[in-house]
Amino acid sequence: MIETLTHQELRLCLEWQVELGIDEAISETPIDRYELAAQAPRPAAPAAAAPVQAAAAAPAVDEGPGPVEAARAAAQSAPDLAALKEAMAGYEHCELKRGARNLVFCDGRPGARVMIIGEAPGRDEDRMGRPFVGRAGQLLDRMLAAIGLSREAPGTEEAVYITNVLPWRPPQNRDPKPDEIAMLLPFLERHVALARPEVLVLMGNAACQTVLQTRGITRLRGSWTQGFGLPVLPMFHPAYLLRNPHAKREAWADLLELKAHLEVPR
């Protein structure tokens, strides 16, 4: 068909194509793209993706026992108080240890009839490594002396044995946290079992929370109950008495209750 067109007609056709924007020759012969699209074979359906093999689960990392389990294992393995103190010194799960100067383990006489459990070391206790040696401890000594007891008594009848729920001082003397109490509870239970007291005196709410799983010292104080398989007498903490001298009347009544209990023939 192109061969029959005159030179003038071919020129007009080229100008018309340029006006349409066709300014480049792709091939020497025209191609009908619509016809090619109709004749082109349909693309095959994509092959089903091969099932991805589940990645093998990464082997579980053995992080060892948790804080409570580690404490329980260490405590139960201690055959005596010296070994228990060593086990507590080697316990690494409690962050309080990082900021404390000393492990405050105990004071008084092991085997004493009365075991006193306080809350946690304060500044003086942390410095000296002994429980109840500050102002509250001095008041406690006077309270015990009033009923014939002492941490320095040579005999088990008049002696007391003293420890705390926590062996390390909390920052700024804050209250013990529940997780701290939980992880150190196995050590306290073993401590009581190895010290073998006849009665426990719980000084303040933290000790009651740990041993009796309840709080409310103003309601609990002065009434005998059971904890760790032993008779338990909750009392006001001496530090509370220093801040609230009016409560010394109730504290004196509690001391007389303890004295009467110890005087009952066994």
pLDDT reported for residue 266? 76
Residue 196 φ then ψ, to 5°: 55, 55
**Amino acid identity for residue 244 in this structure:** N
- Please write the tens of the pLDDT for every residue from 88-105: 999 999 999 999 999 999
pLDDT reported for residue 26? 58
CA–CA separation, 238 and 236 (whole Å)? 6
From the CB of residue 182, how many other CB atoms can be counted at a distance below 10 Å?
14
CA–CA separation, 106 and 41 (whole Å)? 91
H or E element: which one contains 235? strand 230-235
Burial class from Cβ neighbours inside 10 Å (0-12, 13-18, 19+) for residue 119 reads buried
pLDDT reported for residue 54? 46
Residue 255 and residue 146 in contact, taking contact as beta carbons nearer than 8 Å: yes
DSSP secondary structure letters along 146-196: TTT-BTT-SSTTTBEEEEES-SSPPGGGPPPPHHHHHHHHHHHHHHHHHH-
pLDDT reported for residue 55? 46
Task: Tell me which residues of the chain have a pLDDT lower than 50.
Answer: 52, 54-55
Provide the sign of the torsion angle of the four alpha carbons 96, 229, 201, 246, taken in this order.
Answer: positive
pLDDT reported for residue 135? 96
Distances (CA, A) of 54 to 12, 51, 59, 60, 93: 67, 9, 14, 17, 36
pLDDT reported for residue 220? 98
Q: Establish how many alpha carbons lie within 13 A of residue 218's alpha carbon, considering only the half-sphere containing its beta carbon.
A: 5
Q: Where are the alpha helices (DSSP H) in 96-146?
A: 96-99, 123-128, 135-145
Nearest to 97 by CA among 67, 135, 137: 67
CA–CA separation, 203 and 120 (whole Å)? 11
Residue 231 φ then ψ, to 5°: -65, 135
What region, left, alpha or beta, does residue 129 occupy, with left being phi > 0 and alpha being psi -120 to 50 degrees? left
pLDDT reported for residue 53? 53
Which structural domains are found in the chain, ordered by start? 67-263 (3.40.470.10)
pTM (predicted TM-score) = 0.76
